[in-house]
């Protein structure tokens, strides 16, 4: 769990550089979201995501005229609205890198696969810095490096 006590609020000021690079990554769907075939809001609906699903966002586009951040997904292939920047509605929230407190001791592995070689152990209460977050659907986990 995150070690910082601040809430996971979303910054509502967006620059093109923030949108293009820092907003990509692993997201947890907060409320039902429709996956569409393109970044345009009126594009064809192709799937629906449920609250709690984990997705990987590869690209983010800021639609200023619609006050939306749209994310291009790895799987299912398509686009979802991430945030309504005016109404502060959030469909999916990014899993952040940074300081985390370990709540259950576990092994640290050589790479993102849970079956890779153990290289260290973290214990309950220890603070760790997560530099990268990846979604491992085959292991049904979100892993941090």
Question: What's the pLDDT score for residue 22?
Answer: 64
Nearest to 11 by CA among 74, 78, 69: 69
Number of Cβ within 10 Å of residue 98's Cβ equals 13
Question: What's the pLDDT score for residue 88?
Answer: 85
Collapsed DSSP state (helix, strand, coil) of residue 19: helix
What's the rounded Cα separation, in Å, for the pair 140 and 125? 24
Question: What's the pLDDT score for residue 33?
Answer: 96
Distance of CA 2 to the CA centre of its chain: 14
Collapsed DSSP state (helix, strand, coil) of residue 66: helix
Q: pLDDT tens for residues 89-114?
A: 999 999 999 999 999 999 999 998 88
Q: pLDDT tens for residues 106-137?
A: 999 999 888 899 999 999 999 999 999 999 98
Average pLDDT, the chain: 86
Q: pLDDT tens for residues 55-80?
A: 999 999 999 999 999 999 999 999 99
Question: What's the pLDDT score for residue 23?
Answer: 85
Number of Cβ within 10 Å of residue 37's Cβ equals 13
């Amino acid at each position: 769990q995150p070690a910082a006590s601040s809430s996971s609020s979303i910054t509502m000021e967006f620059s093109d550089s923030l949108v293009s690079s820092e907003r990509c990554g692993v997201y947890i769907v907060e409320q039902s979201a429709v996956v569409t075939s393109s970044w345009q809001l009126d594009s064809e609906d192709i799937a629906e995501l449920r609250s709690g699903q984990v997705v990987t966002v590869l690209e983010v586009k800021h639609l200023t005229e619609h006050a939306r951040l749209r994310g291009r997904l790895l799987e299912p292939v398509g686009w979802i609205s991430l945030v309504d920047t005016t109404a502060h509605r959030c469909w999916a929230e990014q899993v952040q890198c940074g300081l985390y407190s370990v709540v259950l001791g576990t092994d640290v592995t050589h790479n993102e696969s849970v079956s890779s070689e153990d290289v260290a152990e973290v214990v309950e209460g220890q603070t760790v810095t997560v530099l990268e977050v990846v979604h491992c659907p085959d292991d049904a986990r979100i892993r941090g490096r």
